Chain A
C-alpha cells in the first residue's frame, strides 16, 4: 500500500482518484508509526510552505527512514518543494533536505502573471524513469507561485518568465511541481512511472 500524507494542505480527492484509475490504492496514515507498512510515500499539497509545519520532526524522521530503506517517494507541488532544503516563503522552516537548494518566488512582470496557473510545457533535461515515454512539449497543469531551483536533480524544466524545476528525480526520490492528477494523459503516465518504481 502506498501512503498518501494528509497534512491539511489541500484536497486529496483528485490524487486518490487518479491513483485509483491506475489500480493503486492509497491509505492515509494517521500517525508516523503507520508509515512502517508503506511500500511508497506520496506527499501532495498546495498552498503556503508554512503548511509543511504540520510535517514536524516525527513525520520527517519516519519519512526519511522509509526513504533510507529504498522506498519510493513522490512530492507533488508543495510536496515537491518540501523535498528541498527550504523555501523563502517560510524561511524559518526546514524542508526535508533530500534535494539541495532553496525554493523561491517566481518574479512577475507586466507579461508574466504570478501565480502561474494553467497548462505549460515540459522541457526534458535528461532521461529518468519518472518521465519514461513523456516528451518535450508535453503540457501539464500548474498552479503555484513558488518554485524549486534548477539543479543536477532536475529532470524537466518549465519556463514561465524563467525556467524552473518541473520534474526532479534522484534515485527513488521524485517530485513534480505540476498536478499530475489534473494533467490528463501525461499526468497519468507520470503517476504510472512512479508506480513502476514501487514495483
Chain B
C-alpha cells in the first residue's frame, strides 16, 4: 500500500533555515545540511527547500545550499523560491533538486508548468498554492503570501494539473506556523478535485494533526517545519503514531 509521506520543509534565507508565524516574524533554526542529515536519519520521506525571500528580492534559490543538502541525501528533494524561468529551474535541477516548486511564476506564466513538465517530466514539477479563506472562497495568494491573486485554490489546482504539474503543495496561510492543525477542509477540497498527489502544509502542532489531515483532509503527504526543527517531535515518533492509527507509513 502506498505510504502517506512525511515531508520536512527547510525555509531558507541567506543560507540559514528560518521559520516564522503566518509568514512573518522569522527566527533562525539552523544549518540546512545539518537539519537535512538529521531528518534523513529519522526517516523523513522527502525534503523541501524553500528560499522564502527569493521572490521578493528576485534572488534565485541558492545553488550552494541545494548542493550541500543534496550531497548526502538519497530521498527526493524539492526546491522552490524564486523559480521564475526555465533557466532558474535548470539551475536548481543541476544543483541536485529532483523537483522544482513553482508558485508566483506559475500564476503569472502558467505555460512555465508545461515547459518544465515537458523538459523534466511531470514528476519534477510541483505547483505550490498559498491559500487563505475569504468567506467560503479559498483565495490564492502570491509573493510569499503578501498579494491576493484573483484565483481560487480548487480551480487553480485543477488547471495546474491539466498543464502538467505532478503534485500540488497546498499551504494554508491562516494556519502557517500557528500549530493549531492543518486546514483539513481546504486540503480535502483540493485533493478531491485533482488526481495528482496533494501535500498539505501549514499548522502542524501535534501528532494528531497529521492523522487528521491524512484522513478527513485526504492528503497524500504532509509537510511541516517548526515541529521538527526545534525537536518538539521526531519524524520517527510521528510515524509510529500514524502507524498505530492504521495510516500506512514508511518505517
Chain B residue numbers with a CB within 8 Å of A9 are 121
The tally of residues in B whose CB lies under 8 Å from a CB in A reads 30
- Which residues of A are interface residues toward B (Cβ below 8 A)? 9-11, 13-14, 17-18, 21, 46-47, 108, 113-121, 139, 141, 143-144, 159-160, 181-185, 187-188
Residue B231 at the A interface, CB < 8 A?
no
Q: Of B91-99, B137-145, B149-157, B200-208, which binds chain A?
A: B91-99
Kindly list chain A residues whose C-beta atoms are within 8 Å of the C-beta of B70. Answer: 17
B94 to chain A, nearest CB (A): 7
In the bound complex, how far is the Cα of B47 from the Cα of A182, in angstroms?
11
B-side interface mostly: loop
CA distance A141 to B74 in the complex (A): 10
Contact check: which of A11, A21, A46, A121 meets B93 at CB < 8 Å?
Answer: A11
Which residues does B use to contact A, with CB under 8 Å? 1-5, 40, 45, 70-72, 74-76, 93-94, 96, 98, 120-124, 166-167, 195-197, 220-221, 250
> Chain B: which residue is nearest A10 at the CB level?
B121
Would you call A115 and B74 a contact (CB within 8 A)? no
- Return the chain A residue nearest B71 by Cβ: A17
Tell me the minimal C-beta distance from B39 to chain A in angstroms. Answer: 12
Least Cβ–Cβ distance between A134 and chain B, in angstroms: 14
- B residues near A18, Cβ cutoff 8 Å: 74
* Structural contact, A143 and B123, CB atoms closer than 8 A: yes
A119-B1 in contact given A143-B123, A182-B74 (Cβ < 8 Å):
no
List chain A residues, Cβ under 8 A from B74: 18, 21, 181-185, 187-188
A-B residue pair count with CB separations less than 8 angstroms: 83
Would you give 19 A-B contacts (Cβ < 8 Å), ordered by A? A9-B121, A11-B124, A13-B94, A18-B74, A21-B72, A21-B74, A46-B124, A115-B197, A117-B167, A117-B220, A118-B3, A119-B3, A121-B1, A141-B76, A159-B1, A182-B98, A183-B74, A184-B40, A188-B74
Q: Looking at the complex, which one of B5, B93, B121, B195 makes contact with A118 (CB distance below 8 Å)?
A: B5
**Residue picked from A18, A47, A183, A185, most chain B C-beta under 10 Å:** A47
- Residue of B whose beta carbon sits closest to that of A158: B2
Separation of A114 and B122 alpha carbons in the complex (Å):
12
B238: shortest Cβ distance to chain A, in Å?
15
* A78: nearest chain-B partner, CB-CB: B121
Given A11-B98, A118-B5, A119-B3, CB of A113 within 8 Å of CB of B121: no
- Check if B220 sits within 8 Å of A115, measured CB to CB: no
Q: In the complex, what's the smallest C-beta–C-beta distance from B37 to chain A, in angstroms?
A: 13
B186: min CB distance to chain A, Å = 18
Q: Which residues of B contact A118 (CB under 8 A)?
A: 2-5, 45, 197, 220-221
A70 to chain B, nearest CB (A): 29
Given A108-B195, A181-B74, A184-B74, decide whether A115 and B122 contact each other with a Cβ distance below 8 A: yes
A47-B122, A115-B196, A184-B74 given; name 12 further pairs at CB < 8 Å: A9-B121, A10-B124, A14-B96, A46-B123, A113-B196, A113-B220, A115-B197, A116-B2, A117-B220, A118-B4, A121-B1, A159-B1
